[in-house]
Amino acid sequence: MKQMGDMLLRKEPFSEIVMGNTALVRAMVEAGTRVVASYPGSPTPEIAEAIASIPADRRPFYFEFSTNEKVATEVAYGAAVNGHLSTVFFKSVGLNVASDTFVQLGLMNIIGGMIIVLGDDPGANSSQNEQDNRHYARLSYIPVLEPASPDEVYDYYKKAAILSASKGMPVILRLTTHVCHAKQRVSFGAWTPVELDRTSRFDPANGPYIPIAADVFPMKRRALQRISEVRSWSDGSDLHTHIHYEHTGHGIITAGLPFLSLMDAIETTPEKPDILKLGMVYPLPEKLIADFLRSHSQIKILEELDDILEKEIKALAHDAQIPVRIIGKCDAEDWIGEYTPERVYDMLAKTWPELFPAKPAAQPASSVLPPRPPQMCPGCGHRSAFYAIQKALDPADITVADIGCHTLGFLPPYRIGQLLMCMGASPGMAAGLSLFNDNRNVICFLGDSTFFHAGIPGIINALFNRHNITLVLMENGTTAMTGHQDHAGSGKNFNEVVDRIPIRRVLEGLGVNHIFEIDTYKQAGLTDLVRQAIAVHELSVVIARHPCMLKFNREQRKKPGYIPRKVSIDQNLCQRIHDCVERFGCPTFTRDSNGRVDINADLCIGDGSCIQTCPVEAIQKPVEYRPAEK
Ligand SMILES: Cc1ncc(C[n+]2csc(CCOP(=O)(O)OP(=O)(O)O)c2C)c(N)n1
């Protein structure tokens, strides 16, 4: 980590193999970024990890994890109108949370410059949808740069910073999952540290900053004017790449990661179409595109997710009366998932079979990785919670999941969670399900990071509108799913130890009358409390607490003299009832074809939460375990 931090602060130019997310942080340093804010979400958490690798006293900018993406955007905006170059980054769906603030940014005069780094997720690798955030750019009159690789992430961030500060407008840097995570050798420039300027340059005269009534119109006119200026600038900029294979017939327009897949796909084809790779996808460089259209008779548009380039380029060709055939998406599947080189080749083969002969169907791989369904970690407090809560539920009860590690409760063997939407949505959905419903209990779930992020309004709503729901707050002290970032209830922010904001105190402050709390490892007690909570005929909350054991165990292992502990099965006592495997479901337990249960010592963390699940007490207390004894 220290090495990465030193690298990110090198003064002389250097080159290194880095991830897109790491290249971004070096670009922030070189560009003179002063304030960065975020809320965690894949594919962006490694940006914060790279920032964390720079020792706090040498970090040339301020960083925070804010309580959610909207607040993070507001922090970055405030800093930017104060004259400091700022950045906010978050995952794709984070923009939905930030959007109420975000859509105004294009109207403002952002004197310091502001970059919004989006981690879009074609393929829904770690998101609940594959939304294409280029739509938001059009909605908000905010330019979008779209790098395809780590070196472009670095280069485009610096260009975005200059563009943003010079025009006083925000700029989006749209990354996608594999641009964030790809590694490449990147040549970095020099960096000269400067004394951090702590002067506020906020001046209302740079505004207006109050978009109401008649002021909205001049602000909107300015936003439109800037977009038109950026369009012309983009036309002459070096953001776009034109690859000439001297093909007058066929041309391809693409951007971002699909460009790399395209280069792979056409590597061995003898006759290659010309390529126009766009570095800025909103607004489009119209002159450049029109020239490309004019010099070809057929154009294929290659873009992941929605048909945004396609629609704009078709309109452009129509308005400019360019006689060219433009081929965009051909079937519904083209809207879905990531464009791998194989998919790109198949699409081209369908469009232009004369250039791309269909390839023989790929041979099935000789060794296929077994599918690995997601599951909770050994020792996870959420597992104990679901095991215990299941005993308190009636089969008719309605259970509403939320986003986090505890979402996995919907899987067998617990099957708790029949609906899921987005972070913080469960109390609201549960409230709706409780209306005109006298016969079924409604129980919903929230993680603690989510409680602070977007959960509180739904709880207030349930209280204020007197909804009869039970909320189980799965408190593990961290934002586990995205890699253990601290939150307002952790007692630590990104930079220092702070007073934790206890969830119980917040609930009491709101006036929740029925609050139960217990450690989830006390399984029988939790079952009992959930029964009591369900019996209440208004909002009741059960705080089901246990520290995240993955985090805890990682910390323990770093301690000198640490010796692992494991449970074991007393084969004389085991009656092969299999509750440990079938109802508790810890992956540590193995069962052979004769029904014999054993412990996988590589997985067991020796927490002992499983001991209570065996009706005949065959699971033995954890004892010290040294692998040599195997
Ligand atoms: C709007 C939005 N931002 C970020 C994420 C990424 N994300 C998924 S779950 C989660 C929170 C998990 O923390 P917590 O609620 O404490 O549950 P845990 O995983 O710790 O059980 C986050 C930030 C997301 N899905 N949606």
Topology of domain 381-553 in CATH is Rossmann fold (3.40.50)
Amino acid 626: pLDDT? 81
Amino acid 358: pLDDT? 86
| Whether the CB of 29 sits within 6 Å of ligand 1 | no
Do 241-351 and 381-553 fold alike per CATH?
Answer: yes
Q: Model confidence at 628, in pLDDT bands (50, 70, 90)?
A: low
Distance of CA 446 from the midpoint of ligand 1 (Å):
10
171: Cα separation from own chain's centroid = 19
CATH of domain 241-351: 3.40.50.920
629 pLDDT exceeds 60?
Answer: no
- What pTM does this model have? 0.96
CATH of domain 2-234: 3.40.50.970
| C-alpha span between 143 and 109 (Å, rounded) | 14
Q: How large a percentage of the chain has pLDDT more than 70?
A: 99
SS (H, E, C) 139-168: HHCCCEECCCCHHHHHHHHHHHHHHHHHHC
Amino acid 630: pLDDT? 47
Q: Model confidence at 247, in pLDDT bands (50, 70, 90)?
A: confident
Distance of CA 483 from the midpoint of ligand 1 (Å):
10
Distance of CA 401 from the midpoint of ligand 1 (Å):
12
- The mean of the pLDDT values for the chain is 96
| C-alpha span between 457 and 205 (Å, rounded) | 35
The protein residue with its alpha carbon nearest to ligand 1, atom 1, reads 94
CATH of domain 563-624: 3.30.70.20
| C-alpha span between 461 and 464 (Å, rounded) | 5
Q: Report pLDDT digits (tens) over 544-563.
A: 999 999 999 999 999 999 99
User: Measured between alpha carbons, how far is residue 40 from residues 66, 172, 278, 489, 579 in Å?
Assistant: 9, 18, 29, 15, 36
Domain residue extents for the chain: 2-234, 241-351, 381-553, 563-624
| Whether the CB of 380 sits within 6 Å of ligand 1 | no
What is the identity of the amino acid at 414? Y
Distance of CA 409 from the midpoint of ligand 1 (Å):
15
User: Contact at 8 Å (CB) between 527 and 388?
Assistant: yes
First to last CA, the chain: 34
Amino acid 362: pLDDT? 72
User: Contact at 8 Å (CB) between 161 and 31?
Assistant: yes
Q: Report pLDDT digits (tens) over 171-202.
A: 999 999 999 999 999 999 999 998 888 889 99
